[in-house]
Amino acid sequence: MEIRIAENCGFCYGVKRAVAMAQKTAENDFTSYTLGPIIHNPQVVQSLADDGVRAVNSLEEIPDGQVIIRSHGVGPAIYKEAEDKGLDVVDATCPHVKKAQQDAKSVVDDNMTLVILGEKKHPEVISINLWAGNKGIIVESEKDAEIIPFVENMGVVVQTTFSQFKFQSIIGILEKKTKNLKVFKTICTATQERQNSAVELAKEVNLMIVIGGKNSGNTNRLAEVCRDVGCTTYHIET
């Protein structure tokens, strides 16, 4: 049996950066916390916990010390709340997510209807919408796009790990829903590279194994695009 590895794989820049920042805080004398899991990979989260960097669900759980904003980002209110509590903030938000947050805010500031392509319950999508005052219409599928009413002006921002193939299909629908469509293609380059590599490999092999967190939107998307080309695919975590 021959085992082949995709040309592009592994953690992207934003995740590597966030994990490195979290690991750096473990060297401090005071306790460090991540607001939610630093990334959607239980094994990495556990490794950090073993080093003294603990994941919590809210700022209320942090008595003092340092809080790390995870790669998925948070809304502006969290920064204010952390400041009011006197917490030292380490912002590990992925730069690509930061751009999506600011693009979403600019769409609303320009009085355009905001559409966010992504998973409704994903923390990154939630954070993007919070920067836009929760005014975005979140679209996960072509079916969601079809029911959006016609508007004069529309701006589109995309979850950084969204399927580029689904993106193209949904944009085709949204073009018919407005006179003026402004698209911010905020799918990050690393995501596109990994999806392209996965698809190319899936077309040439009998079986694909995608390794990563079961709670990772990025990893789930890789498995999804492999299945879409008709290759039997298993998503495993350990």
Domain range summary for the chain, segments of one domain joined by +: 13-94, 96-187, 190-236
Average pLDDT, the chain: 94
H helices present in the chain, as ranges: 13-25, 42-50, 76-84, 95-109, 123-131, 142-146, 164-174, 189-202, 217-228
Q: Which helix (H) or strand (E) holds 207?
A: strand 207-211
Residue-wise pLDDT tens digits, 147-168: 999 999 999 999 998 888 899 9
Look up 124 and say whether it is catalytic.
yes
- Residue 96's pLDDT band (cuts 50, 70, 90): very high
pTM recorded for the entire structure = 0.85
| Per-residue pLDDT, 13 | 87
Please give the CATH number for the structural domain made up of 96-187.
Answer: 3.40.1010.20
> What is 190-236's CATH topology?
Cobalt-precorrin-4 Transmethylase; domain 1 (3.40.1010)
List the catalytic residue out of 119, 124, 140, 193.
124
Per-residue model confidence (pLDDT) at position 201: 97
Answer whether 96-187 and 190-236 agree in fold: yes
Q: Residue type at 207?
A: L
Query: What whole-number distance in Å separates Cα of residue 228 and Cα of residue 195?
Result: 12
Task: Determine the CATH number of domain 13-94.
Answer: 3.40.50.11270
